Chain A
Amino acid sequence: MTNQEILSVLAEAAGNPKKQLHHHLSQGRKVVALAPVYAPEELIHSQGFVPMGAWGADLELQEAKAFFPAFICSITQSIVELGIRGAYEGIHAMVIPTLCDSLKVLTQNWKHAVPSIPLIVTSYPQNRGIPAAQDYLKSGFVQISEKLEELGGTPFSEEALAKSIDLYNRHRKAMRELSSTLGKHPRISARQRSDIFKSAHFMRKEDHLELVEGLIEGLSDQESGGLPHRKEDGPASRTRVITTGILADHPRLLNILDETGFHLVADDLAHESRQYRTDAPTGGAPLDALVERFCKQQHCSVLFDPGKGRASYLADLATRENARGVIYFMTKFCDPEEFDLVPVKRNCDAAGIPFLSIEVDRQMSNFSQARTALETFKEMIEQRRM
Chain B
Amino acid sequence: MAEEVRKKPAPPDPDSARFKLGAIIEKHYREVHEAKARGEKIGWCASNFPQEIFQTLGVKVCYPENQAAAIAARGAGQKLCEIAESEGYSNDICAYARISLAYTRVKDVPEQNMPLPDFLLCCNNICNCMIKWYENLAEDLDIPLILIDIPFNTGYEPGPDQIAYVKAQFMDAISQLERITGTTWSEDRFREVMDISNRSSRAWLEATGYTRYKPSPLSGFDLLNHMAVAVCARGTVEAAEAFETLVKEYKEAVEKGTSTFRAEEKHRFMFEGIACWPHLRTTFSALKNRGMNMVATIYADAFGQVYQDLDGLIRGYCSVPNAVNLEKARDTRIGIVRKTGAEGLLVHTNRSCKLWSGFMQEMSKQIGESCDIPVVSFDGDQADPRNFSAAQYETRVQGLAELMEARKKGE
A residues sitting closer than 8 Å to B (CB atoms) are 66-69, 71-72, 98-102, 104-105, 107-109, 111-113, 121, 123-127, 130-133, 135-136, 139-140, 301-302, 304-308, 330, 332-333, 335-336, 338-343, 345
Contacts and interface: CB of A to CB of B under 8 A. Distances in A.
Contacts of B351: 71
B189 interface: no
B127 A101 contact: yes
B327 to A, nearest CB: 9
20 contacts: A68-B358, A69-B360, A71-B92, A72-B358, A102-B354, A102-B358, A104-B128, A107-B154, A112-B362, A113-B362, A123-B152, A123-B162, A125-B165, A127-B148, A132-B169, A133-B165, A304-B135, A304-B147, A307-B139, A338-B90
Contact of A67 (B90, B169, B349, B362): B362
Contacts of B325: 107-108
Instruction: Identify the 4 closest CB pairs spanning chains A and B, nearest first.
Output: A105-B358, A132-B168, A339-B132, A136-B165
B326 interface: yes
B135 A308 contact: yes
A308 B167 CA distance: 26
Contact of B147 (A69, A126, A308, A345): A126
Contact of B161 (A112, A140, A333): A140
Contacts of A341: 88-90
Given A126-B149, A335-B132, A341-B90, 16 more contacts: A66-B361, A68-B358, A69-B358, A71-B92, A71-B357, A101-B355, A104-B128, A105-B355, A107-B152, A123-B154, A126-B131, A140-B161, A308-B139, A333-B92, A333-B354, A342-B87
B19 interface: no
A99 B149 CA distance: 11
Contacts of A302: 128
Interface residues of B, number: 47
A121 B161 CA distance: 15
Contact of A99 (B128, B162, B165, B354): B128
Nearest to A305: B135
A143 to B, nearest CB: 9
B151 interface: yes
Given A301-B132, A339-B136, A101 B93 contact: no
Contacts of B165: 125, 132-133, 135-136
Contacts of B164: 132, 135-136
Interface string B75-92: 000000000000111101
A338 B152 contact: no
B321 to A, nearest CB: 13
Nearest to A65: B361
Contacts of B198: none
A100 B151 CA distance: 10
Nearest to A120: B154
Given A98-B151, A130-B168, A67 B359 contact: yes
Nearest to A301: B132
B33 to A, nearest CB: 27
- Name the residue in B97, B147, B355, B359 with the highest tally of chain A Cβ atoms < 10 Å from its Cβ: B359
A127 B358 contact: no
A336 B354 CA distance: 12
Nearest to B173: A127
Contact of B169 (A102, A130, A336): A130
B403 interface: no
Contacts of A101: 127-129, 354-355, 358
B263 to A, nearest CB: 31
Contacts of B168: 130-132
A304 B161 CA distance: 20
Interface string B132-162: 1101101100000101110110100000011
B359 A108 contact: yes
A104 B145 contact: no
Nearest to B134: A306
Contacts of B362: 66-67, 108-109, 112-113
B151 A68 contact: no
Contacts of B97: 339
Contacts of A307: 139
A332 B358 contact: no
Contacts of A308: 135-136, 139
A66 to B, nearest CB: 7
B124 interface: yes
A339 B355 contact: no
Contacts of A132: 164-165, 167-169
